[in-house]
């Protein structure tokens, strides 16, 4: 993958996976994650924060508070660059602190979730506390968008 034409890098395995701090779901798995959140009590929801777009939902919180669903994957902040979140099982094969600086300069948003497949960069600075109202807003967003996660 090329980043702004400055250097090339690839994804590599993570030798020591970090404890999950976010659940990441795309497409149908995002809908399953949404449904799972709706089943949680208000107290459980309040321990989590979420952001969603047409194709992805990211929910962050303490490891023990995260919902575990089929088809989802998990992420955590990179120890060398805490504003760069990565999959727990993979990492870039370049220095994460330098990659984080380059991403910050280009996007001017923090924190950012960098994901390999599909290859996306998800801003996490607009996460909101999970609540029934937020889940209703996300459902309305998905219902109003053709081709949204189903």
Q: Is residue 38 part of a domain?
A: yes
CA–CA separation, 133 vs 40, rounded Å?
13
Report pLDDT digits (tens) over 103-124.
887 877 789 999 999 988 899 8
Q: Is residue 149 in a domain?
A: no
Write down the pTM of the prediction.
0.86
Give pLDDT tens digits for 41-66: 999 999 999 999 988 999 999 999 99
- Preceding omega of 118 cis (within 30 degrees of 0): yes
Tens-place pLDDT, residues 69-80: 999 999 999 988
Residue 32 within a domain: yes
Q: Mind listing the pLDDT tens digit for each residue in 27-42? A: 999 999 999 999 999 9
Could you tell me the strand order of the sheet in which 81-87 lies? 120-123, 112-115, 81-87, 73-78, 22-26, 56-60, 49-52, 128-129
Domain count, the chain: 1
Range of the domain at 87: 2-6+19-144
């Amino acid at each position: 993958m090329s980043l702004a034409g400055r250097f090339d890098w690839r994804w590599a395995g993570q030798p020591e996976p970090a404890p999950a701090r976010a659940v990441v779901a795309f497409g149908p798995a995002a809908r399953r994650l949404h449904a799972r959140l709706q089943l949680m009590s208000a107290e459980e929801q309040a321990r989590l924060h979420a952001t969603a777009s047409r194709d992805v939902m990211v929910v962050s919180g303490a490891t023990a508070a995260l919902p575990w669903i089929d088809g989802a994957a998990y992420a955590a902040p990179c120890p060398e660059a805490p504003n760069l979140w990565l999959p727990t099982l993979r990492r870039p094969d370049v220095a994460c602190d330098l990659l984080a600086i380059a991403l910050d300069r280009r996007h001017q948003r923090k924190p950012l979730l960098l994901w390999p497949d599909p290859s996306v960069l998800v801003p996490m600075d607009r996460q909101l506390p999970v609540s029934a109202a937020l889940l209703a807003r996300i459902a309305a967003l998905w219902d109003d968008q053709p081709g949204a996660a189903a």
